Amino acid sequence: MSKKRTITSSFSYAWEGIIEAFKNEPNFKIHLVFAALAITAGFVLKISSQEWTTLILTVSAVITLELINTAIEALVDITSPKISRLAKTAKDVSAAAVLITSLGALIIGLIIFLPKISYSAFFY
């Protein structure tokens, strides 16, 4: 039977996970930098509510998948310390999920921001 946790302790564990990823996962930092750039661009270019919704969902998906990828890699390392084809598959597939989502985020960013950048550069 598991221990009962308070909401406060649950949030605390979640923040510990974010801090752990930030300290030890270079790709997590890269995703956060791009997220900050996209959010800053959203403010500067005054994107619409619908574009904000799309941007926030996209950024959240990439960061969430990076965290899940980190968790999968840690679990694989614990359960399969020796080199294993299946362990490699688990790590590679979880990394591929992050890659595909990141590429989708890039395309969404281009769809949102390119017209605004082109319009701004042309008229100012």
DSSP 43-84: HHTT--HHHHHHHHHHHHHHHHHHHHHHHHHHHHHHH--S--
More reliable by pLDDT, 124 or 69: 69
d(CA 48, CA 56): 12
pLDDT of residue 117: 87
pLDDT of residue 4: 75
List the catalytic residue out of 16, 20, 66, 73.
66
pLDDT of residue 121: 60
- Is 32 exposed, middle or buried (CB count within 10 Å of its CB: 0-12, 13-18, 19+)? middle
Please give the average per-residue pLDDT across 51-58, as a whole number: 98
Class of domain 27-123 (CATH, top level): mainly alpha
pLDDT band at 39 (very low <50, low <70, confident <90, very high): very high
Is 66 a catalytic site residue?
yes
List, for residues 61-102, the tens digit of each pLDDT value. Answer: 999 999 999 999 999 999 998 889 999 999 999 999 999 999
